[in-house]
A and B are shown apart, each in its own frame.
Chain A
Amino acid sequence: MSKKTKKLKIEYVNIPIVVATLLLVIFGVVMVFSASSYNAEIHYNNKYFYMTKQIIGAVLGIGAMIFFYFLDYHKLQKWKNWILLASFVLLAVVFIPGLGSTSNGATRWIRLPGFTIQPSEIAKFGFVIFVAGYLAKNFDVIKAFRGILPVLAVGGMMCVLIMLEPNMSITMCVGITMLVMLFIGGASLKHFAYMSLPIAGLVPALIIAEPYRLKRLMAFINPWENPKGEGYQLLQSLYSIGEGGLFGVGLFNSRQKYMFLPFSESDFIFSIICEELGLLGATITMLLYLVIIISGILIAKHAKDRFGALLAGGITTVIASQVLINIAVVSGSIPPTGVPLPFISAGSTSLVVFMSAIGILLNISKQSKQNVIKSS
C-alpha cells in the first residue's frame, strides 16, 4: 500500500453511503434521546443516559469507519482465521459467570468496567470476513458439497453458540447471511435444497425446546387474544405506528415512550420513529437504508476481486436482513424477535460494529474506483 492511497481523496469516497450512514447515525442519536429520556430519568435519574452512550458509540463508530476506510481490506483476508477465533472466544466468554451479563432471561453481553459489549454483534461480521475469505480462496471447490462444508460447520457452530444465549434473531441473521454469501460465492442450487431440509426441521425443534416461542408466534397472528401477555409488546408497537399517521405527532412527542412500549429505545425504536414522524419519516428512513444497501450491492458488484465482492455482499446482507427483519417485526409482519435497527437502535457495540462495516465497504469501493481510474 503506497502512501498516496492513504490520503483521503474525495473522488474515491462513496459519497451516498457516507451521507446516508451519517444521517442515520445522527438521526439515531436524536431518536434514542427521544425514546429513552423518560425511562432514563426514572431508572437512572438522568434523561441523557442512553443518549450519552449513543454519542460515545457514534464517535467511536466514526473513528472505526475512518480506520477501516484506510485499512486495506485484503488484510482482513489474511487475518480471517484469527478474526473467527476471536469471535468464538468472545461468544464463549459470555457464558463465563461473572463476565456474562444477563438481562430479560438472555445472556448476551460481556460486562466490562463502565460498559458492556455484545459479542454476537461482532461475531456476525467476523463470520462474514471468514466466509468471504474462505470462499474467495476455495472458489474452485465450491461446486462440490465438501467445498462448502467448512462454511456450514463454522456457521452451524456459531449459530449454536448464539442460540445458547439465546438470541434467535441474530442466529437468523447469521444463517441468512451464510446462505446469501454461499449463493454469491457460487454454491450449487442443489446444495441449497439439501441445506433447507435440516433448517426446516430445526424451526419446530427450537419452538418445542422453548415453548415461549410458539406463544410469541401465536401472538403475532392475533395479538388481541392476550393483550396483556404475549400480545402486549406487538400491540404497543402497533399503537405507536398507528398513532403516527401520515405525518406523525412531532419529534419528541411520542406518548408510547412513557413506558407503554418496552424496548422503545432499542429493538422497537422504529415504532417511535413512526409515531413521532409518521409514514413520511418512516419512508425517508427506509429510503436511507435503501441507499446504503443498494450502494453495498453495487460495491460488491464492482469490487476489484472475489474477496471484495463476497465481503461487500456479506456486509450488505447483514445490514439488509437486520433492517428488514426489524421493520417487519415492529409492524407485525413476521413473528416478533428482538433485532436492533442498524445505526439507530441504542447500543454502542452494534453502532461501532456497523460503522466499521461501512468503513470496510468504503475501502472496497475506494479500491475499485482507484482501479477504474488507474485502468482508464
Chain B
Amino acid sequence: MILLLISLFIFLFGRLFYLQVVEAKFLQEKAEEQWTRDLPINAERGVIYDRNGIALAVSYTTYDIFVRHSNVEDEESVAKLLASKLGLNYDAVLSKVSNAKVSESLIKMQVESSVAKELKNSKLSGIYYSENTKRYYPYGDFLTQVLGYTTIDNIGQSGLELYYDKFLQGIDGYSKIQSDIRGTELYNTLDSYIPSVAGNNLILTIDYQIQLLCEQAAVRIMQEQKPTSAQIIVMDPNTGEILAMTSKPSFDLNSPPRNDVATLLAESKNLSIVDVYEPGSTFKILTTAAALEEKKTTLEDRFYDPGYRIVDGQKIKCWKHIGHGSQSMVDGLNNSCNSVFIDLALRLGLDKMYEYFEKFGFGTSTNVDFAGESGGILMDKDLVKKVDLARMGFGQAIAVTPLQQIRAISSVVNGGILYQPYFVKEISSNSGNYKKEFSSVAVRRTVSEDTSNKMRYMIEQVIKKANAIESFIPGYRVGGKTGTTELMSTTGKTGEHIASFVGTFPADKPEYVILVVVDRPTSGHYYGSIVATPYAKTVFEGIIKYKNIQPTEDLDRDLKLMEKNIQMPNLVGKSLSQAVGIIKNLGLQYELEGEGGKVLAQYPAPTEMLYKNGIVVLTT
C-alpha cells in the first residue's frame, strides 16, 4: 500500500521534474509571450516649412479612444458619454461597449486632447486612451495639391506628403509593458522603452507670401471668370525653385472630402504637373527664341499677314481675320500674329523644331520632386505633316504641362539655361543628425545669352506697347505674353477656351516668372489679356510690396502711359470697319470675338475711361 503510494508520488515528482527542468525553457518562453503587451508610440510626422521657416504642415498630439468591456462598470453611461462627446451614434457605441467577445474596441481615432481630457474627467471606468498624432495644416486650403494630405494613420496620400512620405514618417517606437490577461498594465513594470524618432522636416522652395498672393488671385479668378479650373505658378527662373503653385478648385487640407472620392481625386490632382494643355500663344516666345538662335529671323525681320497662311492647301487663319498687314518680328510677337510663327516654324523645319522641343524639355518629365508628373504629349515626329508643324509654331498640336511651359520660358529669359524645377530645398532631422540640402540643377543650355537678351527685350515690348498693357506696372519693368487656345472638343462643343498669361519680372533681369492658366472661363470673356493677365499683375504688385522693391523707371512717364484719358464710345450696332476706324483714331487696340461684320457687343462699356493702347473687345 505504502509502496504504491510512494511510487505514485515519485511519478508525479518525475512529471514535475520534466515540466520544471526539461521543458522549462520552452514553457517559460511561451508564458512570457503572453505577459507583455506592446504599446506603439507613434512617431511625430516631420514639419513642412516654407522657405522662410513658416510651418505649413505640422503634427500635434491626439488620442485614440478605446473601451475594454471587462473594465466597464456602467455600459450605458459610458456609451452615452462617448456618443455625446465624440459625436457618435449611441446605439453603435453601446454595441461596442457591451461587446464581451473582444478585449478591446476602438471607439474613435484622432480625438482632440481637450475632448479626451473631458472624457478623463468623467472618471468612468473602462475607457482607455492611446496617444497618436494628427496632421494639421495651419492655413487650411493653402498650397493644397502641392502639400497633399495624409490618411488618418498619418501616411502620405498625395502631393509632397506622399512623395517625401518615408522622410516625413519617422520611426515608431514602442514600450513593452507587463500586463494582466486583459492587457491592464501592472504597476511599475515597464520592460523596455524604445522612443519614437520624429520624422524629418522639409524646407520648401515655396514662399508663403508669394503663395498667398497666388492663392488670393486664383480665388478671384474662380469667382470672377468662373472657369473649370485655374492654376498659377511662380518660379525663380535662375534656379528652377518653385516659389508658388496653386490650383483651384481645392479643399481645406484639414478636412479632405474623404467621403466623396471623385471630388477628392479631382481636387487633389496638381494640374500644373500632372495635366497637360495646349499652350497657344505663350508658346510663340519659344518659337521666336528657337528661330533667333537658329538665325532664321532677326528682330528687324519683316512679315506680311493678310489674316491667314495657306499651308499644304489648308488655310490657317490668324486670330485677327482682317490681317495685321506688314509688321516686324517684334510687332509680330506684340500682335501675336499667327502667320509670323507659321513662317518661323516652317523656316525651322521639322527636325529643328523637334530638337528645340527636346531642348526645352517637352515630351519628357521635368524630374520635379513630385509624384505622377506628366511628360506632355508630342506628336510622333514621323506623323507630323507640314500643316501640323505650322500650327506648332503658335503653340497648337502640342500638349505640355504648365510646369514644363514656365520652365522652358524661364530658360529663355534667364540667359539660356534650363533648370530642373523643385519644391524641397532641405530635409533635416530635429536632432540635426540628418541634413540633406538640394540645390539648383542646371539641365542644359537652350539658347544663347544673346538670344536670351533679345527675348527679354521683346517680351517687355509686348507689355509696354501691345495688347498686354493690363499687366504694366508703372515704375517697374514687366514682360509677358498672353495665350488663348480654343479647345478641340470631342463633343463638338465650340467656344471653350484656355486662357493663359506668362509674365516676367523684372523684364530686363527676371527674378520671377509667372504662369496663369485659366481653363474654360464662363464669364463671357476668354482672352488671356482679360481673363488671366490682370491676376498676374496683382501677384507682381504683391511681390513688389512684399519684397519692398524700389521702382527703376520714370514713374511720371509710366503713369502718363497709364493715364486713362480716353472715353469709351458706344460701338454697338456699328459695322466692324466703322468701329475699327473709331478705335484706331482714339489710339486704342482691339480684339475680336466672332466673325460677323457688325458689332453686337463691346467691352468695356461706353463712357468707361481707358488708357492709351487699351484693349477693346468687339463681339461681332
Q: Give the interface of A toward B (CB within 8 A).
A: 38, 235, 238-246, 255-256, 258-260, 274, 278-279, 282-283, 286, 289-290, 293-294, 297, 320, 324, 327-328, 331-333
Per the bound structure, the CA–CA distance linking A245 and B19 in Å amounts to 8
Per the bound structure, the CA–CA distance linking A294 and B4 in Å amounts to 11
Among all A-B residue pairs, the 5 with the closest Cβ atoms: A242-B27, A239-B31, A258-B180, A259-B181, A279-B20
In contact, A242 and B12 (Cβ under 8 angstroms): no
Task: Given A243-B28, A274-B20, A331-B12, verify A290-B6 contact (CB < 8 Å).
Answer: yes
Closest CB of chain B to A20's CB: distance in Å? 14
Per the bound structure, the CA–CA distance linking A328 and B11 in Å amounts to 9
Residue of B nearest to A298 (CB): B2
Point out the residues of chain A lying under 8 angstroms from B182, CB to CB: 259
In contact, A238 and B27 (Cβ under 8 angstroms): yes
Closest CB of chain B to A224's CB: distance in Å? 9
Point out the residues of chain B lying under 8 angstroms from A240, CB to CB: 31
Q: Does B139 contact A (CB under 8 A)?
A: no
Task: Given A260-B35, A320-B5, verify A278-B12 contact (CB < 8 Å).
Answer: no
In contact, A239 and B30 (Cβ under 8 angstroms): yes
In contact, A246 and B19 (Cβ under 8 angstroms): no
Q: Give the interface of B toward A (CB within 8 A).
A: 1-2, 5-6, 8-9, 11-13, 15-17, 19-21, 23-24, 26-28, 30-32, 34-35, 178-182, 186
Task: Given A245-B24, A290-B9, A320-B5, verify A259-B180 contact (CB < 8 Å).
Answer: yes
Per the bound structure, the CA–CA distance linking A293 and B15 in Å amounts to 20
In contact, B5 and A242 (Cβ under 8 angstroms): no
In contact, A297 and B19 (Cβ under 8 angstroms): no
Per the bound structure, the CA–CA distance linking A290 and B4 in Å amounts to 12
Residue of A nearest to B35 (CB): A255
Point out the residues of chain B lying under 8 angstroms from A282, CB to CB: 16, 20
Contact residue among B20, B32, B178, B186 (Cβ-Cβ distance under 8 Å from A278)? B20
In contact, B15 and A331 (Cβ under 8 angstroms): yes
In contact, A297 and B6 (Cβ under 8 angstroms): no
Point out the residues of chain B lying under 8 angstroms from A278, CB to CB: 20
Point out the residues of chain A lying under 8 angstroms from B11, CB to CB: 333
Point out the residues of chain B lying under 8 angstroms from A274, CB to CB: 16, 19-20
Point out the residues of chain B lying under 8 angstroms from A255, CB to CB: 31-32, 35, 178
Q: List 10 A-B contacts (CB under 8 A).
A: A238-B23, A239-B28, A241-B27, A242-B26, A245-B20, A246-B20, A258-B179, A286-B9, A290-B6, A327-B16
Contact residue among A38, A239, A243, A327 (Cβ-Cβ distance under 8 Å from B180)? A38
Point out the residues of chain A lying under 8 angstroms from B24, CB to CB: 242-245
Per the bound structure, the CA–CA distance linking A235 and B27 in Å amounts to 9
In contact, B5 and A293 (Cβ under 8 angstroms): yes
Point out the residues of chain A lying under 8 angstroms from B27, CB to CB: 238-239, 241-243
Contact residue among A256, A289, A327, A328 (Cβ-Cβ distance under 8 Å from B31)? A256
Residue of A nearest to B18 (CB): A331
In contact, B21 and A245 (Cβ under 8 angstroms): yes
Closest CB of chain B to A41's CB: distance in Å? 11
Task: Given A258-B181, A290-B9, verify A242-B31 contact (CB < 8 Å).
Answer: yes
Point out the residues of chain B lying under 8 angstroms from A243, CB to CB: 24, 27-28, 31
Point out the residues of chain B lying under 8 angstroms from A246, CB to CB: 20-21
Residue among B19, B32, B181 with the most chain A CB within 10 A?
B19
In contact, A258 and B12 (Cβ under 8 angstroms): no
Point out the residues of chain A lying under 8 angstroms from B20, CB to CB: 241-242, 244-246, 274, 278-279, 282
Point out the residues of chain B lying under 8 angstroms from A259, CB to CB: 180-182
Point out the residues of chain A lying under 8 angstroms from B21, CB to CB: 245-246, 279
Closest CB of chain A to B28's CB: distance in Å? 5
Point out the residues of chain B lying under 8 angstroms from A235, CB to CB: 30
Per the bound structure, the CA–CA distance linking A38 and B189 in Å amounts to 15
**Contacts A242-B24, A258-B186, A274-B19 supplied; 14 other A-B pairs, CB < 8 Å:** A238-B27, A239-B31, A241-B19, A242-B30, A256-B31, A258-B35, A258-B180, A259-B180, A260-B31, A293-B5, A297-B1, A328-B15, A332-B19, A333-B12
